[in-house]
Every structure is written in structure tokens, then in C-alpha cells.
Structure 1
């Protein structure tokens, strides 16, 4: 959700799925977002996604019998108020017609959700759950998991909702990032709970598709090494301020071209590695 992505807490710097993906995509993008914290207005799709996530969180706070489609639709307006109430600046440039269109799109996504799962048939253990764990080498992982389900047998399922469609030329990269995020959560839960998640589930609400993946222990242990290597590279760049641009097709959607040397821009003066404040996820 947008409010989580932008929330600042006085904690030691940590690695989150989104910031790890940023650094892999472009070290300078990581710097702009995690260190400089340059303003980046949310797109309508991001705002809509935050509303859908908030509505689903409220839906699962209700007793199972009440989690019917009509209730989910009715939760869209309160979810909108919650999202923009936490960050009034999100309304900048959003007129009444745009708002109404986004609310209608959110209701349509929630309607499609019921063709993927029946929320009246189970209770998740948690929604929008903060997971935080320090790995053996000192790397701190931190992120918010959309939903964690635990079966009576103790098996853990990690669920993430995807509400937007990636452009066709970026679809493969978007799906790679999504699975990277899910493996990140799997490692965090493995090390914090000592339980290997039995299933990683991606719910694509716009496409009405379900992608299930079953990780194994060896795979997650290798992925953990990848995360620690990314964090060491981030810390090394942070010590020197050497965050270099890495041009790719994703530059077409970057909000920071005016500050990027690859586009003739100049980054702001490097403020130094943050001591305690860091985006939550």
C-alpha cells in the first residue's frame, strides 16, 4: 500500500522487497527513493491498488459469513477515505470524475476477486503483516505481507494481491519482481518463524489469474545469499555515494529522469547514508 511504502519510522536501515528490486533494476533509482526520497506522485493505478488492499484488509476483519461481494463493494468508499486520510496529498490532481472512476475500478477488481477465492471459507492468520528479521550476517529484512494463511496442519501460505496490469513489454519483468518479492517474504518467515512456507500465491485481480509456487529449502537458502549480497552492495554504494544509473526499458516509466545523468540530468547532492530513518517497505 502507498502509505506503507512512504511511511518513515525511526529504525535502522533495512532491506525491503521493493528497495531490493529498485537496486537490482538501477542503483541510482534506489538512491532517489530510499536515500534522497525524491517526491514521486502515485499513479492512478497505485492509488486504486492501495484502496483495494485496504478494502480487503477490512473485509477479513469481519466474521466469515459477512465477507460477501456486496460487503466488499461497500468497503471501497471507506477504504478510499482511509487511504487519502492518511496521506491527503494523494488527492493532488485527482478530480471528482477521476475519483469516481477509480472507485468503480476498485469495485470491479474486488468483484473479480471472488472468482479466485471464497473469503467466507477461511480465516487468514494476518493481513498487512509487518515481518522483520535479522539474518545471520546482520542483514535486516523488513516488509509487509498482504496475507498469511496457516492451515490446521501448520502449513503456511503467503498471499499477495496484484491489482494492476503491467505493459506487455514489461510483463515478464513485472512477474519476475513479483516472485522475487514472494521469495523475500518466504525467507523472512523461514528465519523469523522457523517454518518453510508451503505455498506462495499471487492473485492477479485484473487478470483473474492465480499463480502458485512451492519453494524448497535449498532454493530459499540460495535466495537468502542473494539478499545478503544485494545488501552488501547497497551498503558499499551508500558509504561512497556511488549509485550509478543502469538504463533499461524501465526508464520509460521512471519519474526521475530530470535528475538522471543518463537523460542529461544532475542528481541532488548526496545526503549520506541514513543512520536511523528508512522507508518501512
Structure 2
């Protein structure tokens, strides 16, 4: 489930960006991936340049929340559900996938289990009551659509392209539906409730990002961008057009240019908003009396990863 999207800026020329990185202990050099922009990190910079720096350059760890972990679990279960043949994608099968999927995810990230108190964990080590909450979200999914009527082209699909300006875009799409006639639908699951204006704009920013990548790689503007909000059983469908995606592409290029400019000097300034209330880095932020760590300089091209938690609500 981990999205190893390289999105930290890199200094130096294109030739330097493409140069192989020296391996550890005298190993043969390994190719460097080009620096790229992901929807999460682009959204970070748009929201607060200092937040971008903390996540993509300083790479300061952030404790996951139960909501993020639950979102990751539900995404993983839905991916596995669509791996089953049509006719077998039932609510009962989805619920049966919860415990083994959680066991696998918690083994990969043992710190996730530490989020739960003893009264939330059953004798087998599973977060029993918490899994029931994830099951409720899966039930909500089945009220929105019947997965047996669908045959997605791919789930958790990596998408990537390089724009004419040289900025590389990378991300992961929850589900990609392609009709026999070629129309494309991009589907994203949100385990939170349908948002108000600021949250809706953030979600559509992510979906337009994917739409630009698919337009440039396939030459087709997606027919529909669909957000499914599982907490309250609502969905939001949006139809982009080519002119709109061309404008949005220029927005992404401007964001990347601003990131590279800030990266030359380390001038990533805080941008206070109501979202500061949920920021894990208040102790390091000047807006809250904190002092950021010394700027480490431009990271290697393969820095700044976007994890599955970034995409979870």
C-alpha cells in the first residue's frame, strides 16, 4: 500500500538529477529517480510551504491517527475485494477480509497497533471494536455501488508523466474504470464525511492532478472524477474538460517552480489557517513560538515519500 512517490525538489542540473546514486558499502551505483510532485506534497505546499518542508525535506515523522490507519485498512480491503471474481464481492466477503488485512498491515507497521488501548484489542491481538468501525464504512460502500457490476481496469494504480516544462507528476489512483468505448472514470475512496468547501477543494485538487496525468499519458480527458465518502454514504462526481485541465497543469507547474525557488534558500514560510489546529509540527512552527530545525539543504532526488496514510482520511 505504500506510495513511494519521489516528490522532494532536487538542486543541480537535469544531468545531475539523472546521475546514478552511490550504493552503500561499495555497491554498484543505483539509478536515481527523477524528482517529482505528488498530489499530497503539492497540496502541502499550497496549504503551507513550511509544512511541505517538514514533510518532504526534513522528513520529520508524524504519528498516525486512528482515522488515517482505518482509511488505509478500508482502502486495502476494497483493493482485495476487486481482486475477487464477480459474484464473490459481497459485504460478507469484505468483512471477512478485515481481520487478515489488518494483521498484515499491522505486521508491516507495528507502531500502528500501539494506537489502541487494551479495551480496544481482543485476545487475539486484533483491534476488535475498531475493526467494527471499519466494517461500517465497508457497508456504506456497498450502499453506494454494487462491485459485482464493475470490472475496473486497475486498483491502486501508479500514474506518472512529465509535463513539457520538465516537472514530473506521480501518484496512485484508488481505482480506474475504463468503459468498452474508452471513457475513463477515476474513483477515489474517502473514509471521512463529505467535506465542506475547503475540504471539497482539496479533494478535487487531488482528482484533477490524476486527471492531468491520465490526459497526458493516454490522450483522453477522464469522463468523470468520482469521490466516494463512506462515513456518510455520499458521493461527488465531477466532469473536467480539456481547457480546465490545461489551466490546472499550469497551476502545478507554478507550484513546482515555487518549490524549487524556496528550496534554493530554505525560505519555506508558514501560512496560518484553521488547518493549523491539526498540524503535528506546531512545536517547530514560528506561528506557535517554535523554531524549525536548521535547513538541511536540497535533498537527494529520491527524497520525500508519499505513503498510504497521506491518502487516507
* TM-score bracket, shorter-length normalisation: over 0.9
* DSSP-derived class of the 1:108 partner: helix
Q: In structure 2, what is the Cα distance between the partners aligned to 1:67 and 1:96?
A: 33
Tell me, yes or no, if structure 1 residue 14 matches structure 2 residue 33.
no
Say what the alpha-carbon RMSD is for the aligned residues: 1.8
User: Corresponding residue for 1:55?
Assistant: 77
User: Corresponding residue for 1:219?
Assistant: 244
User: Corresponding residue for 2:149?
Assistant: 121
User: Corresponding residue for 1:205?
Assistant: 230
* DSSP-derived class of the 1:144 partner: strand
User: Corresponding residue for 1:110?
Assistant: 138
* DSSP-derived class of the 2:290 partner: coil
User: Corresponding residue for 1:228?
Assistant: 253
Change (3 A) 1:172 1:187: same
Give the length in aligned residue pairs.
277
Q: Could you state the TM-score of these two structures normalised by the residue count of structure 1?
A: 0.94
Change (3 A) 1:142 1:250: same
Among 294, 305, 309, the alignment partner of 1:269 is: 294
* DSSP-derived class of the 2:185 partner: strand
Q: Indicate conservation of the 8 Å contact 1:143/1:280, yes or no.
A: no
Question: How far is 1:278 from its partner?
Answer: 2.6
Q: Indicate conservation of the 8 Å contact 1:199/1:212, yes or no.
A: yes
Question: How far is 1:6 from its partner?
Answer: 8.8
Among 67, 78, 81, the alignment partner of 2:100 is: 78
Structure 2: 5+ residue runs without aligned partners? 8-30, 121-126, 307-313
Question: How far is 1:276 from its partner?
Answer: 2.1
User: Corresponding residue for 1:184?
Assistant: 209
Q: Could you state the TM-score of these two structures normalised by the residue count of structure 2?
A: 0.84
Question: How far is 1:65 from its partner?
Answer: 1.0
Among 151, 157, 162, the alignment partner of 2:179 is: 151
Change (3 A) 1:232 1:30: same
Q: In structure 2, what is the Cα distance between the partners aligned to 1:155 and 1:93?
A: 42
Moved over 4 A (4+): 5-10
Q: In structure 2, what is the Cα distance between the partners aligned to 1:24 and 1:7?
A: 18
Q: In structure 2, what is the Cα distance between the partners aligned to 1:19 and 1:36?
A: 13
Q: Indicate conservation of the 8 Å contact 2:74/2:134, yes or no.
A: yes
* DSSP-derived class of the 1:92 partner: helix
Among 64, 75, 95, the alignment partner of 2:86 is: 64
Structure 1: 5+ residue runs without aligned partners? none
Among 196, 210, 214, the alignment partner of 2:221 is: 196
Question: How far is 1:96 from its partner?
Answer: 4.3
Q: In structure 2, what is the Cα distance between the partners aligned to 1:127 and 1:279?
A: 23
Change (3 A) 1:72 1:266: same
* DSSP-derived class of the 2:116 partner: coil
Q: Deviations over 1:80-136 (max 9, x none)?
A: 123222222222332343322321111000011011010001110010111111111
Q: Deviations over 1:68-91 (max 9, x none)?
A: 110011111122123222222222
Among 131, 137, 150, the alignment partner of 2:165 is: 137
